[in-house]
Every structure is written in C-alpha cells, then in structure tokens.
Amino acid sequence: MSDPICPLCGRPIPPGVRQSQHHLVPKLKGGKGGETVLLHAICHAEIHATLTEAELAREFATVEALRAHPRLAKFIAWVGKRPPGFHSKVPGKRRKR
C-alpha cells in the first residue's frame, strides 16, 4: 500500500511522519463532524498561521481554495522541495490577530 498524499503540498506522508487531520470547516465554525483531510503537521500549522478560523470557514473551506491563497502557494512551492519527513517551525511571521 502506498503512503497517503498530503492534499496541500502533494508530497507523500510516510509512516512516522508528523501529521494531523484538518477540518475544512473549523469545528468552532460548524465543522464538527465535517470533512477532514490528512496533512503533514507543517502544512497544517502553516494553514493556521496564515488564516483565521472565520476566514477558513468563509472563504477557504476547500483544498483548492487553500492552495490558491498567495501565502500558502508560496509555502507549498517552498516545502515541496523538502523531503516528505521534513518538519520545522512555521517560517515567517504569524498572521495578525
């Protein structure tokens, strides 16, 4: 069986690599029990460093919308050059609250 593919960055998620489930609609915004996707932990952290829960629920509730966001597109290009097991702190500044 092949490794699952991260829908954000397109890299495989091998066993033992830090990973997490992302609710496409945040739980606090009505997404409890809703659709989730398996992501690398670094990809998941970048999503939440970039967008608020309200923005995620309102405008970024699909993988396609997330991939089209300018900061996330830049991140995807950067992380796509890293091995599947790569993890680091989220690069760049966090979004303003």
54: containing domain? 19-79
Report the alpha-carbon distance of residue 13 to residue 4 in Å, rounded.
5
Convert the pLDDT of each residue in 48-78 to its tens digit: 999 999 999 999 999 999 999 999 999 999 9
Question: Would you say residue 8 lies in a domain?
Answer: no
Asked, for residue 31, whether it belongs to a domain, the answer is: yes
Rounded Cα distance between 95 and 97, Å, is 6
Query: Is 86 inside a domain boundary?
Result: no
Q: How much is the pLDDT for 1?
A: 77
User: How many domains would you assign to the chain?
Assistant: 1
Residue 47 placed within a domain: yes
* 58 in any annotated domain: yes
Asked whether residue 84 is domain-assigned, the answer is no
What is the distance between the terminal CA atoms of the chain, rounded to a whole angstrom? 42
Q: Look at residue 96 and tell me whether its pLDDT is greater than 60.
A: no
Q: Is a pLDDT exceeding 70 seen at residue 24? A: yes
